[in-house]
């Protein structure tokens, strides 16, 4: 699940939130509860280590267990 970085424009606090990309996004509130929040570009989310791994490209956590012809065998 990607982590996004947000900044509250009201109290100028930066914070991170884990969000599912497939779920509808409810309003993000800062730790204090302000709703005037902007999303920042997160280095962590941009690199996306886990998502970029060929082992998870086919949805199988174990390489080789998904049958031939899958990208995880290369």
Task: Tell which phi-psi region holds residue 38, choosing left (phi > 0), alpha (psi between -120 and 50) or beta.
Answer: beta
Rule CB under 5 A: choose which of 1, 3, 21, 32 binds Zn ion. Answer: 32
Q: How far is the CB of 11 from Zn ion (least distance, A)?
A: 3
Rule CB under 5 A: choose which of 1, 3, 11, 38 binds Zn ion. Answer: 11
Residue with Cβ nearer Zn ion (39 or 63): 39
d(CA 33, CA 11): 10
Residue with Cβ nearer Zn ion (10 or 65): 10
d(CA 52, CA 55): 9
d(CA 42, CA 44): 5
Residue 3 touches Zn ion, criterion: CB under 5 A:
no
Residues that bind Zn ion (CB under 5 A): 8, 10-11, 30, 32, 34
């Amino acid at each position: 699940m990607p982590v996004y970085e947000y900044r509250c424009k009201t109290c100028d606090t930066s914070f991170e939130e884990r969000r599912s990309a497939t779920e509808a996004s409810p309003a993000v509130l800062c730790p204090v509860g302000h709703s005037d929040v902007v999303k920042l570009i997160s280095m962590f989310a941009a690199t996306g280590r886990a998502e970029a791994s060929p082992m998870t490209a086919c949805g199988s956590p174990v390489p080789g267990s998904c049958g031939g012809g899958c990208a995880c065998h290369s």
